[in-house]
């Protein structure tokens, strides 16, 4: 879902850059206040895994593929602000070094796959685990829904940006983006559940870190 | 040196990067929408290219070029975010 340059108009570029810069600044302050020693290696690992996993596009129907975003996974383990910082680092390096996602579109990509996906994932996880309980099963159900919702909502944000930029009418952009990403979100959910199962089986304590 | 959990986790992440040549080459969700609704040609090339399209430049074997790009990227990202988190911890300790 990395937006290249050329799709977004100046107003959208400016707005999303401002919001993303603000959320990174606030995230840095939160992390500086609350980060514990145990958060440090997990943040690095989370970012490295997300980058590697994002390279592995999986096929869905109709000659289309999708890949992990990873923001929900990061937000469930580390909290939403930390997830924003991790996603921002991944997206900045993808844009600068790998030419994946435009330089002008970077603000929008951080807003969609960083800010929106992280907060959607975090609060969907909290809401769902409150309903179904914090058992192992409850956490896995919560993480699937959080991961699916994070992709779905990020794609809606992207659709709105395409609409505001005059690329597509909203009644076309919204069903097209949300439709494909409703399918891609299933992959996101399965990968997120798989990783959390591995964490629960090997390092249960990493599930219990303070969420920042 | 004692092997820590995150050493193993970094090796797992690098192993995932090793699998990257197996990735589907089909367009992703956004690219598909851009093709179907014919605005894909509005996409602009980046003003500079370093490891564009996850292919390490100058290597003919595409799988090898992809793996190399993946390994380098995974290590750079780990270093950058680990370093950032270390720095934030340091600033917190100094403030205390």
Taking CB atoms and an 8 Å limit, are A52 and B9 in contact across chains? Answer: no
How far is residue B46's CA from residue B68's CA, in Å, rounded to a whole number?
21
Task: Please determine, for the modelled complex, whether the ipTM score is greater than 0.90.
Answer: yes
Cβ–Cβ below 8 Å for A180 and B51:
no
| Residue of A12, A35, A37, A52 to mutate when probing chain B, most B C-beta within 10 A | A52
The pLDDT tens digits of the residues spanning B24-74 come to 999 999 999 999 999 999 999 888 999 998 999 999 999 999 999 999 999
HSE at residue B40, side-chain half, CA atoms within 13 A, is: 12
Q: Whole-prediction pTM value?
A: 0.96
> Which of these, B81, B92, B91, lies nearest to A86 by C-alpha position?
B81
- At A26-77, the pLDDT tens digits run 999 999 999 999 999 999 999 999 999 999 999 998 899 999 999 999 999 9
Q: Which residues of B touch A96 (CB under 8 A)?
A: 50
Taking contacts as CB-CB distances below 8 angstroms, the residues of chain A near B51 are 97-99
Q: B interface mutation test: which of A24, A47, A58, A106 has the most B CBs within 10 A? A: A47
Instruction: Give how far B93 is from chain A: nearest CA, Å.
Output: 9
Question: Which residue in the block uniquely carries the two structure tokens 């990202």?
Answer: B77
A177 contacts on B by Cβ (under 8 Å): 29-30, 33
**Domains in chain A, CATH or no CATH each:** 10-208 (1.10.1760.20)
CB contact under 8 A, B81 and A172: no
Count other Cβ atoms within 10 Å, centred on residue B95: 8
């Amino acid at each position: 879902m990395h937006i290249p340059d050329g799709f977004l108009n100046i107003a959208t570029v400016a707005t999303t850059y401002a919001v993303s810069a603000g959320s990174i600044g606030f995230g840095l302050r939160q992390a500086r206040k609350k980060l514990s020693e145990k958060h440090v290696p997990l943040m690095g690992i989370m970012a490295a895994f997300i980058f590697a996993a994002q390279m592995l596009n999986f096929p869905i129907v109709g000659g289309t593929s999708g890949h992990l975003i990873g923001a929900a996974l990061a937000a469930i383990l580390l909290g939403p602000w930390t997830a924003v910082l991790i996603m921002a680092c991944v997206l900045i390096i993808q844009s600068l070094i790998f030419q994946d996602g435009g330089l002008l579109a970077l603000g929008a990509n951080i807003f969609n796959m960083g800010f929106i996906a992280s907060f959607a994932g975090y609060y969907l996880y909290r809401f769902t685990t409150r309903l179904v309980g914090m058992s192992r099963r409850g956490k896995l159900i919560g993480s699937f829904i959080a991961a699916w919702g994070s992709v779905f909502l990020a794609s809606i944000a992207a659709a709105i940006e395409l609409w505001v930029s005059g690329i597509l009418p909203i009644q076309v952009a919204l069903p097209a983006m949300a439709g494909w990403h409703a399918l891609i979100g299933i992959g996101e959910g399965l990968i997120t559940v798989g990783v959390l199962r591995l964490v629960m089986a090997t390092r249960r304590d990493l599930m219990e870190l303070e969420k920042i | 040196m004692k092997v820590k959990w995150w050493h193993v986790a970094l090796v797992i992440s690098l192993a995932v990067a090793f699998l990257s040549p197996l990735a589907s080459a089909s367009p992703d969700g956004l690219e598909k929408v851009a093709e179907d609704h014919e605005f894909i040609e509005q996409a602009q090339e980046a003003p500079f290219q370093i490891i564009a399209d996850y292919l390490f430049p100058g290597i003919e074997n595409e799988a090898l070029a992809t793996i190399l790009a993946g390994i380098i990227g995974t290590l750079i990202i780990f270093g950058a975010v680990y370093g950032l988190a270390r720095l934030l911890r340091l600033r917190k300790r100094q403030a205390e």
